[in-house]
Structure 1
Amino acid sequence: MKLGYHIGYWSSGPPEGALEAIRAAEELGFDSVWTAEGYGSDALTPLAWWGASTSRVTLGTNIVQMSARTPTATAMAAMTLDHLSGGRFVLGLGASGPQVVEGWYGQPYPRPLARTREYVDIVRKVVAREEPVTHSGRQYQLPLPGGTGLGKPLKSTVHPLRKHIPIYLAAEGPKNVALSAEICDGWLPLFFAPRTDGFYRAALEEGFARRAEPAKDFEVAASVPVIVHDDVEEAANLIKPALALYIGGMGAKDVNFHHDVFARMGYEEVADKVQDLYLGGHKAEATAAIPTRLVEDTALIGPPAKIRDELAAWEESVVTTLLVRGDAATLRTVADVLS
């Protein structure tokens, strides 16, 4: 199983020691480095800036939010970064949720699967550069009908370094996971648990069955917290606040995809309680309501021997890469334990 370093998105500013950690990841033999965006820092600029200090690792976005850019703008950025990195770029895309899409970007959220399908199709056309790009869909139209009437199909002035840049899709629900297998080169799961492997394996197989050609080297790069600590409870307590935020506060009461992941995992009552507490302003109580076993299902925590023992279940799952976080020292510790 490969290791990747996930920088994540920024909070109030750039994460301290990020460049040192990226360099350490490459020195330690990590396969990839990933950036993200929410509604603050973007994913592309840090990847280009810090990625310039690397020479080997794959550089990926986990994720670029589709509503933030038109498909052609995203394709332009992908081709640019692919050239600058010498063919090391992976484009990770995601639909995000209605709060961000409609509240931050001012874009419509309905029909995210259909929008994703069209978006990926346009990006593929731009990168392939086989002909001027046209698209007549329900979500996107190129050239735009109406307007001045002067729009015309265009082909990128830049010749791509690679005519096929890998695209991974961030997905949590079964239909979206299946879509990643059908039209993309990889899947970026969040809150994956090895004991739910069969559920996601079936969703992926459904998508693979719809492909015109068999998938080659399909990757599953899962964000997995790894905390090496003698005390399992203390390690779990470091992760619970973030889980409370995602389960309870990332989305509306009736539209929270992260909540739904844990409900499908068998923690519906826990997820409901955490959400009620969090949305009610009781963040500490929401955090305390998360059982350690839930953390252990989706993370590798505890003494080295425990982590190594539990790693076997991850290696037997559909996951091909573990994306871990932390500073340079943490990455060295994790690499030592997981090697």
Structure 2
Amino acid sequence: MRFGMPWPGREVAREAEEAGAGAFCAGEFVDHDAYLTLAEIVANSERALAGPAIAYAFARTPYAHATAMRQLHARAPGRLFLGLGSAAFRINRDWFDVPADRPVDRIAETVGAVRAWLHAENGEKVGYSGEFYSIDADVRAPVLGRLDIPVLLAAFNTRMAATAGRVADGVIGHGLFTRSWWNDVVRPSVERGAAGRDEGDARAVEHGWIITAVDDTAPERAVADARRMIAFYLTVKTYDPFVAHHGWESPVAQLRKAFRAGDTDAMAAAVTDEMVTEIAVCGTTADAKDALARRAGSLPRDVGYFAPPSFMVSHRRRAAYGRAGLALIDTLPAAQNSVHSN
């Protein structure tokens, strides 16, 4: 597995790349845009793999996704991937004012329509015909040419994971993923989706987020921050199958009750030690290395984004967690932590 990080800013990123970090990713929320962040990554890194993990799929047209990647490819050829996520129903409906129904079917077509723009050659029409997208573009300017940029899908539950295996180049796992969720749920679903593809197609790529909070001087605070991050994620009902799979219904009911009451301390307190052990890499550097050893074989196979907690954690402390997490690079097999090349 290659060591990656959500974009930590230019200064930390310089240290990270020199230390051997092989990938940076750009997230997205109301205060940061995935493609603007990706442009910053491209401008301030030299070798590392880079891409959105994820960009909101339905907040933009397939044209807009592909055009951003084309422009950035000119500055970072061979280093880019495109990670797309469907986002929650209410985000699509209430934030973006776009249709929110049938997200799995819609994102499958989004991948095809984005690829139509990425694979277009000069002199050829750009075409795609589906239920949700119809493209018939005659681009007369000589600005195209096929780009084989991998397209990955954020997939948590089984239908989206199977769709990633069927139509995309791979999957991006969530920071909540455990050994069991990767091995027993997501990977079999991806493989099932890929079963009908050509035998010559490459194995589905696995990227994934890993909640990581390392602090040798204040390990208790690091663990507490990881607990709050886990609690915040689990307030979302999308993850109910994951909760049921692990038998965590009772603590999750408690943390959701605390969330509705605005009690973040009670939210964190409801997260059990088992949940922290199964989900996060946190505590001292030694604790974190032990956690990685326990989870060998159940982390994303290709790129892991060692992500500091962000819920109620300052930018300064997130940067400190990012720097501290670099000590974990030597825990990963050196050959698998090399930078991306095409």
- TM score, norm. by length of structure 2: 0.84
1:158-169 equivalent positions in 2, closer than 5 A: 158-160=143-145, 163-169=147-153
Kept in 2, the 8 Å contact 1:227–1:300? The answer is yes
Answer with 98-107 or 206-215: which moved more.
206-215
Kept in 2, the 8 Å contact 1:127–1:164? The answer is yes
CA 1:314–1:186 in 2, change beyond 3 Å: closer, same or farther?
farther
Classify the secondary structure of the residue corresponding to 2:208: strand
Does residue 311 in structure 1 map to residue 292 in structure 2? yes
Cα distance in 1 for residues equivalent to 2:250 and 2:141: 51
**Root mean square deviation of aligned Cα:** 2.3
CA 1:158–1:331 in 2, change beyond 3 Å: closer, same or farther?
farther
Does residue 283 in structure 1 map to residue 232 in structure 2? no
Cα distance in 1 for residues equivalent to 2:238 and 2:60: 22
Q: Partner of 2:128 in structure 1?
A: 135
Does residue 20 in structure 1 map to residue 14 in structure 2? no
Among candidates 240, 246, 258, match of residue 227 of structure 2: 240
Q: Partner of 1:148 in structure 2?
A: none
Classify the secondary structure of the residue corresponding to 2:74: helix
1:151-230 equivalent positions in 2, closer than 5 A: 153-154=138-139, 157-160=142-145, 163-190=147-174, 191-196=176-181, 197-229=183-215
Among candidates 94, 99, 104, match of residue 108 of structure 1: 99
Q: Partner of 2:63 in structure 1?
A: 72
* Aligned AA (2:229): A
* Aligned AA (1:166): P
Q: Partner of 1:149 in structure 2?
A: none
Cα distance in 2 for residues equivalent to 1:43 and 1:126: 19
Classify the secondary structure of the residue corresponding to 2:32: coil
Task: Give unmatched runs, 5+ long, in structure 1.
Answer: 8-16, 144-151, 251-255
1:298-337 equivalent positions in 2, closer than 5 A: 298-317=279-298, 319-320=300-301, 321-325=303-307, 326-327=318-319, 329-336=323-330
Kept in 1, the 8 Å contact 2:211–2:281? The answer is yes
Kept in 1, the 8 Å contact 2:277–2:291? The answer is no
CA drift at 1:124: 1.0
Deviations 1:38-75 (A, max 9, x none): 22210111211232121100111011101111011111
Cα distance in 1 for residues equivalent to 2:242 and 2:115: 30
CA drift at 1:153: 4.4
Kept in 1, the 8 Å contact 2:285–2:328? The answer is no
* Aligned AA (2:120): R
* Aligned AA (1:295): V
Classify the secondary structure of the residue corresponding to 2:282: strand
Classify the secondary structure of the residue corresponding to 1:224: strand
Cα distance in 2 for residues equivalent to 1:72 and 1:201: 30
How many residue pairs align between the two structures? 315
| Identity level (%) | 27
Cα distance in 2 for residues equivalent to 1:163 and 1:236: 42
- TM score, norm. by length of structure 1: 0.85
